Amino acid sequence: MAYQITVIKGDGIGPEIVDETIKVLDAVGEKYGHQFNYERVLMGGESIDAYGVPITDEAIAIAKKSDAVLLGAIGGDTTTSPWYQLSPNLRPEAGLLKIRKELGLFANLRPAYLYEELKGACPLKEEITKGGFDMMIMRELTGGIYFGDRKTEEVNGVMKATDILTYDENEIRRIAKWGFDIAMKRRKSVISVDKANVLDSSRLWRKVVEEVAKDYPEVKLEHMLVDNCAMQLVRDPKQFDVILTENMFGDILSDEASMVTGSIGMLSSASLAEGKFGLYEPSHGSAPDIAGTGKANPIATILSAAMMLRYSFDLDEEAAKIEAAVGQVLKEGYRTSDIYEEGTKKVTTSEMGSLIAQRV
What string marks each residue from 240 to 269 as x (binds ligand IPM by CB under 6 A) or -?
-----------x------------------
In the bound state with ligand IPM, the residue whose beta carbon lies nearer, of 139 and 335, is 139
Q: Is 251 a catalytic residue?
A: yes
Q: b vs e for 158-176, b when ≥16 Cβ sit within 10 Å of the residue's Cβ? A: eeeeeeebebeeebbebbb
What string marks each residue from 294 to 333 as x (binds ligand IPM by CB under 6 A) or -?
----------------------------------------
Chain residue at closest Cβ approach to ligand IPM = 93
In the bound state with ligand IPM, the residue whose beta carbon lies nearer, of 82 and 333, is 82
Q: How many residues bind Mg ion (CB under 5 A)?
A: 1
Which residues ranging from 330 to 349 are in contact with ligand IPM (CB under 6 A)? none
At its nearest, how many Å lie between ligand IPM and the CB of residue 354?
A: 28
What string marks each residue from 155 to 194 as x (binds ligand IPM by CB under 6 A) or -?
----------------------------------------
With CB under 5 to 8 Å by kind, the binding choice for 11 among ligand IPM, Mg ion, none is: none
Q: Is 146 a catalytic residue?
A: yes
- Angle formed by the axes of helices 316-331 and 299-311, nearest 10°: 160
At its nearest, how many Å lie between ligand IPM and the CB of residue 348?
A: 26
- Tell me: does residue 8 bind ligand IPM (CB under 6 A): no
Which residues ranging from 82 to 141 are in contact with ligand IPM (CB under 6 A)? 93, 96
In the bound state with ligand IPM, the residue whose beta carbon lies nearer, of 91 and 321, is 91
Chosen residue from 251, 281, 318, 338 binding Mg ion by CB under 5 A: 251
Q: Is 195 a catalytic residue?
A: yes
291 with 12: CB under 8 angstroms? Answer: yes
What string marks each residue from 46 to 85 as x (binds ligand IPM by CB under 6 A) or -?
-----------------------------x----------
Task: Give contact residues for Mg ion (rule: CB under 5 A).
Answer: 251
Contact footprint for ligand IPM (CB under 6 A): 75, 93, 96, 251
Active site residues: 146, 195, 227, 251, 255
